[in-house]
Structures are given as C-alpha cells and as structure tokens.
Amino acid sequence: MGVVKFLKFLRLKLRGRRAAERVAAVDIGGEGDVGDVVCYKFKGEGAIVYAWEEIRKFTMDFSTVIGYGGFSTVYLAKLSDSLTTAVKIQFRCTQRLNEAYKQELEILLRINHPYIVKLLGYCGEDREEGTLILEHAVNGNLHEKLHNSISNLSWRRRMAIAFQLATAIDYLHQNCIIHCDIKSSNILLDDQLNCKLCDFGSSKMGFASLVVSSNSKSRAALLGSPGYTDPQYMRTGLASKKSDVYSFGVILLELVSGMEALDPLSGERLTARAAPALRDMEKVVELVDPRLKSRGDFDWEEPKAVAEVAATCLSDSPAHRPSMSDVLIALRKGVSSISYLV
C-alpha cells in the first residue's frame, strides 16, 4: 500500500480513536473566536519568576548576544556554574508585540515536551521588555546547520530531526495549539543535535483555527514566514492545524534537498523547485542534497518515502493534508532510519 493510500486509511481509523482521547471542552472568547472546541490536558511544569536585576546579573549585563529575532534579542546567561541558558528579550512597544509576548509566555508555561524548548523562568516585573529564560540549544538552529555551515548533517540525523519535529507539532495540536511559524530557523538543536522547537510568538491556543483580521497590517504581521506559509492561510487569513502541516512539508523538502525554503537570489520557492519530483517520485533522486549523495550511507527508497509524505502535507486543499499523527505513522512506516526513535 502506498504512503498516500496508507494516510487516507489512517485518517479514518484515527478519527474514532481521537474522539475517545478528548477530555474537555473550552470556549475561547475574543476576536477571531470560532466557538467551542475540544482540548486536551496540559502537562506543563512551573517556571521560576526572577527580578530584572537577577536577569541582568545572569547575563553579565547582557554582554553576549547569541541570536536575533524580528523583535527580540537572545543573550547567553548562566544561572549557576552548571546551568547555561538563553535569555530572550522581547520588545513590547506595540499592542501586537505585547500580546505576542504574553501568548508565548502562556503557552510555554503550559507545555512540556522533550522536543520543544523549555521555559526555565521569566521576569515578573512590569517592564517595556518581555523576558524569557529558556534552555540553551548549543548547536544553533537547523537553518544554520543546513545552509550556513560546513558541517554535514547525515541522512539519519536529518530524519531524526524530522521525526522529533513531527512529534512536537503533534503534541501541540493535541493540546489545541497552532504554532503558525514552523521554519528551520525556529528549530533549535541541542548538544546531541536533537530538535527543540521554539518561538511561540505567533502561536494560537485553545481553538481549532483562527481567522486573522482583515486589516492588512494586522494580517501581514501574523502570516508566518515566506516560503513556509500555507497558501490557503495567505489567501483566506484562516489558520488551522493543517497550516502547520503545510510548513512541516516544506521542512521535509529542506531536509531532503539541502535547499532553502526561499532561494535568497531568485526568490523562487522550494515547493516550486521540487514540484516535478513531487509529481514523479522517480525524479526524487535529482532533488536529494548532493552532500548526502556523496556520503551514500542511506537507503535510496527513503527519500522517495519522505517526498511522498511531503507531497501530501503540501496539498493545495487543507482537507487533503494528513494530520501530524498520520504523518508520524507514515514516517515510521517508510523511513527505517528512525526505527531507533520509535
């Protein structure tokens, strides 16, 4: 049975099982509300509240910058001799940025997953800056490893990251959270090159989907990252779990090909460049990263299986895309390289 048919079969099979797993219904009010939905229990752990002066000392007066975001700066910090962390300073100069910070903090306080960056603490003072203390992923992010580094991620490691990311997204979806900005630069890598999904500033919690305001400035601020964003989301402003599934499909192509989601020179999307291979799986060999070809340490059937999963994730209609639970099962079935993780 092919992966596509297998996914369709799983969709029907899992529908009944999910109904039995649901534990509570919540009503989320406010703009963009879509009514009552079913949510899952959270398994988050507490984080420590720090004073600003303590955070300043942890960072040695914010002396070492380790990263930048659109509206944030990340600093290296030491909470103790044995614990190095990352301190994210989020600017809150507008209502939207303030809401994004509060949303990210609320989500991180509620969740706990091995492949999602862990919140260790935050600043409890009412300041213009929002401050999050996060576990430090020493190997940077996936985008750097794939595109800006001489190091060569093996096929097995790439597939491990894909599987771990799928596990993290599935966990979010089962807890009624849509990430809304899945991209390789938001996939941090720890000392063992394990996935640590981060950046929940655009995420939505407590509902199955979100209608973005028709205001053009508001919509532009919420529509994710070029090359990764679901075209349906771009057209309608309606985000759903299937928007994350689409972005995950782009990540799969990025891992297989070693190419960026958006070509920095031509501006061409990876989904367009990969389209011939996704229509004819015999052409997938042309898509595979040359660095992987030179290693030759993988089964050539696996890139085809991954490309087939990516193709379903990238379906034009969200209704035709698999759930992340379906994706996990398909990856287990088609990629033996991750058998040690299952």
The predicted pLDDT at position 24 comes to 28
pLDDT of residue 342: 65
pLDDT of residue 220: 47
Instruction: Annotate 123-146 with b (16+ C-beta within 10 A) or e (fewer).
Output: beeeeebbbbbbbbbebbbbbbbb
Q: What is the pLDDT of residue 38?
A: 33
Residues ≥6 apart with Cβ < 8 Å to 255: 146, 158, 159, 161, 162, 306
What distance in Å separates the CA atoms of residue 10 and residue 198, rounded to the nearest whole number? Answer: 29
Structure tokens at 68: 């930048």
Spatial contact of 101 and 114, defined as CB atoms under 8 Å apart: no
pLDDT score for 11: 53
Per-residue pLDDT of the chain (342 residues), as tens digits, is: 565 555 554 554 444 444 333 322 222 223 333 223 333 334 445 799 999 999 999 999 999 999 988 889 999 999 987 899 999 999 888 888 999 999 999 999 999 999 999 999 999 898 989 999 999 999 999 999 999 877 789 999 999 999 999 999 999 999 999 999 999 999 999 999 999 999 999 999 875 555 554 454 444 445 678 999 999 988 888 889 999 999 999 999 999 999 999 999 999 999 999 999 999 999 999 999 999 998 888 999 999 999 999 999 999 999 999 999 999 999 999 999 898 786
* 304 marked among binding-site residues: no
Give SS3 for 68. strand
| Separation between Cα atoms, residue 203 and residue 329, nearest integer Å | 25
Across the chain, the runs of DSSP E, i.e. the strands, are 24-27, 36-39, 48-50, 65-68, 72-80, 83-91, 119-123, 129-135, 177-178, 187-189, 195-197, 204-205, 209-211, 238-240
* Positions marked active-site: 181
Backbone φ, ψ for residue 72 (5° rounding): -150, 160
The CA-to-CA distance between both ends of the chain, in Å, stands at: 21
How far is the C-alpha of 196 from the C-alpha of 193, rounded, in Å?
A: 9
Structure tokens at 109: 């306080």
Distances (CA, A) of 199 to 68, 122, 141, 179, 196: 12, 15, 12, 8, 10
Question: Residue 134 corresponds to which tokens in the numbers above?
Answer: 């996060």
Q: How many residues does the chain have?
A: 342
Q: Are 310 and 252 within 8 A, CB to CB?
A: yes
Residue type, 281: M
Q: What is the pLDDT of residue 155?
A: 96
User: At a CB cut-off of 8 Å and minimum separation 6, what does 254 contact?
Assistant: 142, 146, 184, 260, 261, 270
Structure tokens belonging to residue 179 = 């990430």
Residue 271, Cα to own-chain centre: how many angstroms? 18
The answer to whether 229 and 130 are in contact (CB under 8 A) is no
What is the structure's pLDDT at 93? 82
Quote the tokens at residue 56. Answer: 């300043």
**Residue 3 neighbours by CB distance under 10 Å:** 23
pLDDT value of position 177:
96
